[in-house]
Amino acid sequence: MELIGAVNTAEIVRRALSVFLNGAPSGDSDVRDRQLEKVGEKERALWRALGTEFYKDPDDLEKLIYKYCHANPKPFGA
């Protein structure tokens, strides 16, 4: 998100991930399932609130993604 300039959205994602030890869920699906089982109602309420913030699209992600792809066409096969 930060790479494309979506600093507000990046902060929302960072806050959502802060629920997890080390700031991210495990890459292992079994471990991740166990992590999610331990998430309490307080954290789930935070996720709901952050989801609402995320879907308000505070950075206009579509515009930023287009702008980034236009400025960096090579990785996208252009």
Residue 36 lies in a domain: yes
Residue 11's nearest CA partner among 43, 59, 66, 48 is 59
Which residue range forms the structural domain that includes residue 61?
7-76
- The CA-atom distances, in angstroms, between 12 and each of 9, 53, 56, 67 are 5, 7, 11, 21
* 12 C-beta neighbours (distance < 10 Å), count: 21
Number of structural domains found in the chain: 1
Q: Where are the beta strands (DSSP E) in the chain?
A: none
pLDDT tens readout for residues 10-37: 999 999 999 998 889 999 999 999 999 9
pLDDT tens readout for residues 49-69: 999 999 999 999 999 999 999
pTM for the model stands at 0.85
Residue 1 lies in a domain: no
